Structure 1
């Protein structure tokens, strides 16, 4: 199955908190990778994103952390920093090496005890998990790491929502590969990127598996439940083996949001903090056009989001997953 680890030079690891559905996911590039970010949601929770602006000095990051736990979860990135420092990775500043670890969080405090959230130990454990295999392997998907407590379709209340998760996909054209790892915790529905069919999201009523289609319901006059800003969010990492600088990586991250728009409705709302990072391992200098790379980024993100909900499993009785009878049909667009 195609996934982010198809981009050589990356290691991806998840860590879960045992007492609650939350966790942290880490993309490790210890030797450094050029990176950028694009934030489209109105309520983001992030760390060290300003340094990724093309006009700013720092060129390389050593990891990117995706975390649950809302703003509390940003603490997990500190554990990633400690793990890298212990192994001699970071930006040389003279007196010491400083690992650069941007991060983004999603809100999952509604499931279980909100006092339990990813911490530095969780981030450290995700790094350990990323390095367990001697070679990169398939990325675990569903309700793991940052996707542990993800929920989609909360626009008409949590009791009518469904489980979200974290998913991964990649696209290769010629020698160019673009991959994505995305944790989907959107307020809106998740749709099939080709047919437009609603795969997961708001249901017509509590306990009923039939999808409502939140976008159509809104246009028909249905009133959404009041949703606190920042209590949703889709966050992710796009990576490519092509040598790209920060301005072009920022455009790649921006194009990745097209993948969100193809699969999530509504998206980029006042209640979401949608954030996508993009990084380059710079292993191939013969670059295709940015037009092609942008299309690949959009596709990888869209397929990663679909996989996130397809691999989800139920949480207690309030949040259901996709009925198994429909799974194979819906998965046909992302098989292989």
Structure 2
């Protein structure tokens, strides 16, 4: 039987570490996912208002087939500068991509990123010409560890999940047999609701909860959702005011095309946990990472289907875990 790995976290994938920092005055933050070795990466973008950097380079037909880090950030378009800070710090270490080693020519770190909108959350955004995100990116890189904090941490610090506090969540599964491990990390800032209409203590992800990990109630036996009852969704969104951004990862070796399929399948986890999702107001983005610690089995496509299904389950659980932790912290 498949169960969460020991940390129930993205860092259950050996070779991945996570850094989270935030600025409480600005009410924003940054999360960095750092592989020990450059890792195969793909991305799937479903939201109507995405904000991303270097995602075109992740297509399976392009030159670059691995990344040095992934950055998730608040700050809308300003937050894309967080990846500048990470790339600069990694380049100073000598990390990055190069076709040839040439003396005096720095390598080029490949640092895809995605942002969410937290500009209207009441924090002090009077930063003039010096937004804090480049510095926050460097600080998050310096803070990488095996620990992922749940709730108002990292890029999820200033987030809102519908009418509830949003935040950062994570979850993992250790698949039985030779299935490998899969895990997810998400920063939830959705237009849609994560809880059932009329049952605010019940998360849409309730069928996927394991061992009470997000304190979820259960819907009444006769409960049925009305066709357009969105419950605790944000009902007056402005342009780009939302977005749920996530990373799923596995220790199984995948090609860029297979990682893309993993990201596509993982998006279903957002559909299981948020209603509605992928709206014109959201910029939903899911990255997929492979650390290639274990080989893909002889029944590779079947194993990939299993990984994708598990990634979707992990992502749904991570959404509920993150929001639940944020709600507990805010009372």
**Is structure 2 residue 143 aligned with structure 1 residue 139?**
no
What are the residue-to-residue correspondences of 1:1-336 with 2, within 5 Å? 1-93=7-99, 94=102, 95-111=105-121, 112-115=123-126, 118-130=132-144, 133=145, 137-153=146-162, 161-173=163-175, 174-175=177-178, 176-190=180-194, 191-195=203-207, 216=226, 218-219=228-229, 225-287=235-297, 289-313=303-327, 321=330
SS in 1 for 2:68: strand
TM-score, normalised to structure 2, is: 0.82
Q: Deviations over 1:126-158 (max 9, x none)?
A: 01100xx5xxx33111101100001011xxxxx
Deviation at 1:290, TM superposition (A): 1.4
Deviation at 1:300, TM superposition (A): 1.0
CA contact (8 A) 2:208 2:316 kept: no
CA contact (8 A) 2:94 2:106 kept: no
* Aligned counterparts of 2:47 and 2:181: Cα–Cα separation in 1: 27
CA contact (8 A) 1:167 1:306 kept: yes
Summarize the Cα distance change of 1:183–1:242 in structure 2 as closer, same or farther, 3 Å threshold.
Answer: same
Summarize the Cα distance change of 1:90–1:189 in structure 2 as closer, same or farther, 3 Å threshold.
Answer: same
Instruction: Name structure 1 gaps, 5 residues minimum.
Output: 154-160, 200-212, 316-320, 324-336
* Aligned counterparts of 1:225 and 1:192: Cα–Cα separation in 2: 18
Alpha-carbon RMSD: 2.6
CA contact (8 A) 2:97 2:107 kept: yes
Q: Deviations over 1:260-289 (max 9, x none)?
A: 000000000000000000010111114351
CA contact (8 A) 2:91 2:106 kept: no
* Aligned counterparts of 1:222 and 1:177: Cα–Cα separation in 2: 33
Deviation at 1:113, TM superposition (A): 2.2
| Residue number in structure 2 paired with 1:334 | none
CA contact (8 A) 2:159 2:189 kept: yes
CA contact (8 A) 2:167 2:322 kept: yes
Q: Deviations over 1:244-269 (max 9, x none)?
A: 01111011001111100000000000
Summarize the Cα distance change of 1:223–1:127 in structure 2 as closer, same or farther, 3 Å threshold.
Answer: closer
CA contact (8 A) 1:30 1:84 kept: no
Aligned length: 291
SS in 2 for 1:251: helix
Instruction: Name structure 2 gaps, 5 residues minimum.
Output: 1-6, 195-202, 215-222
* Aligned counterparts of 1:192 and 1:271: Cα–Cα separation in 2: 20
